[in-house]
Structure 1
């Protein structure tokens, strides 16, 4: 399985480290900022790094040739249709909510704000609708009373994301396809950035 990883920050680095333990080839890493820690980790591992021309959009020319699967890990850039078409299996991302609930940039914060007793994570197909693509994998966890968004992310949601990404990558490697269950739009909620 030949992968292009698009991401940033700590979760991008931990995703890179997780992928190294699976039977995949990391063809390239795409970042919005050349100084990002993911860029440094990729260079240290001898993986080619591409800096996005537009920090809000990844285009086909930024995807490594022969990529089978694009994975996003803490990327706030849209993966363009041309970029998705450049990968034979398209792309997947991790969202720290039980999609279609809490679509958006502040999913964990909205989980806490809404007082949800249960949270979770979703591996979803990258698509035109933000966080709206088909679900490839999903798992839930309890929210502890009084837990902050950061505590929930660090304790449960980040590790859950790595586990689910690994499972979907393994499935795709064996079956040469991605699992897909379509989201029920009647349950979709938005999680915009909180002030």
Structure 2
């Protein structure tokens, strides 16, 4: 599948690796040349566009003939002309049980609210912040809770549970969409 990955940091690098193992033809858009996604893509000589989130995407940033767009650890809101382009959809991972706790501070907001469970959701990308419907996987909606450990900081729950969950849920989403 021809896949556009819009990703940053370690989760983006893990998703990139998963897509390549599955035989995808991947193009990466990342916000910073120094993050793990960009460094990994450079080592693999993959086509990469480095563009800060505040800089709009243009037509030449988006490859023709796309099958799938995936957003992993990205804060970029994609315009409709991008999300409607791929044949099998545009999906993203968000570290909350959507529709609760949208936005960049989702983990901190969930912890501040004192919820016993945080979680992650794979959803259809729209031009609304974390606003699309939950993607359906083989076993149902791709949304899972994780237990919050009392006193845990947002970065701790991210590393311990939410980042691995993101890779798990995005992998299931890709497997499902490959069979579509």
Task: Give the Cα–Cα distance (whole angstroms) in 1 for the partners of residues 52 and 117 of structure 2.
Answer: 39
Q: How far apart are 1:54 and its partner, in Å?
A: 6.2
Aligned positions, number: 174
Match of 1:146 in 2: 151
Q: 1:11 to 1:54 in 2, by over 3 A?
A: closer
Match of 2:124 in 1: 125
Q: How far apart are 1:23 and its partner, in Å?
A: 4.2
Match of 1:8 in 2: 8
Match of 2:22 in 1: 22
Match of 2:138 in 1: none
Equivalent pair of 1:56/1:77 in contact (CA under 8 Å): no
Q: Which runs of 5+ in 1 are unaligned?
A: 176-195
Task: Give the Cα–Cα distance (whole angstroms) in 2 for the partners of residues 9 and 107 of structure 1.
Answer: 17
Normalised TM-score (structure 2): 0.89
Match of 1:190 in 2: none
- Is 1:160 the counterpart of 2:135? The answer is no
What value does the CA root-mean-square deviation take over the aligned residues?
1.7
Judge which range, 78-87 or 107-116, deviates more.
78-87
Q: 1:124 to 1:89 in 2, by over 3 A?
A: same
Q: Which runs of 5+ in 2 are unaligned?
A: 136-141
Normalised TM-score (structure 1): 0.82
Judge which range, 9-18 or 58-67, deviates more.
58-67
Task: Give the Cα–Cα distance (whole angstroms) in 1 for the partners of residues 113 and 46 of structure 2.
Answer: 41
Q: How far apart are 1:57 and its partner, in Å?
A: 3.2
